[in-house]
Amino acid sequence: MVNSRFDLHDRVVIITGAGAGIGKVYAAELARAGARVVVADIEQEAANAVAEVINGNGGKAVAARADVTSESHMAHMADVAMHAFGRIDALVNNAALMSTLARRPWHEIPVDEWDRVMQVNLRGMFLACRAVYPQMKKQQSGSIVNISSSRVFEGTPNRLHYTTSKAGVVGFTRALAREVGPDSIRVNCIAPGLTLSETQVKSSKPEYLAETAKGRAIARPQMPDDLIGTLMYLVSDASVYLTGQTINVDGGKAMH
């Protein structure tokens, strides 16, 4: 028998950027654990495809077209969750600009690209949280999981805008946890190492990916499945008294 603290059965979880990459894996695995999933993605067809696979495998999922930089899209995303499932138990802020960004010195980053990264990676998270907050407050419960990056702890070069935005995710997590704690809403953060998701593999040179295991205590490449246990813990009641924290999941490369 599963300890009830870890039971995700019928828990309603919204995942942004769930149409591809790690978000797609998050959606499939949480649904497999019994959660009801809102697959939110800027690409409607991709979101539909993921939801269809989940439902075809006996899970429960709905799709929502969701540009995280749009306040109206985020409101629609929350409405989809409420219409389909009647509550919102968790939000996973996974959507981000990363794999399409060229790796280059900081002084060669175009200003408009810098602004776009901040718009998606920080404004988007802010708007998503704003959209689900009224319902979580009404319920007096909820878990928000923000996705940062181990780059923040390593100071990884050549995508300065991305690293900076992910450092902002950590600060956002800590401050928001203070503000919504009185509503029994918890806010935590996962910082993955470089993960061999489908989008990362497509956007990176093989020799670069081959180097990723170096320096890790667990000396192998990181896969999307390596993040699932931590996410399930943060979404479940097993973490009911944990908030404002960042859990670094990178095989022991950066330790803090």
Q: Any idea which residues carry the catalytic annotation?
A: 162
In this structure, the strands spanning 246-249 and 60-65 are unpaired
Q: Are 166 and 149 in contact (CB under 8 A)?
A: yes
How far apart are the C-alpha atoms of 237 and 234, rounded to whole Å? 8
Q: Which residues of 36-66 are buried (b: 16+ CB within 10 A; e: fewer)?
A: bbbbbbbeeebbbbbbebbeeeebbbbbbbb
Q: Are 149 and 192 in contact (CB under 8 A)?
A: yes
Q: Which two tokens stand for residue 173?
A: 């997590």
Secondary structure of 49-118 as H, E, C letters: HHHHHHHHCCCEEEEEECCCCCHHHHHHHHHHHHHHHCCCCEEEECCCCCCCCCCCCHHHCCHHHHHHHH
**Residue at 130: amino acid letter:** R
**Rounded to a whole number, what is the distance in angstroms from the first to the last CA of the chain?**
35
Q: Are 161 and 220 in contact (CB under 8 A)?
A: no
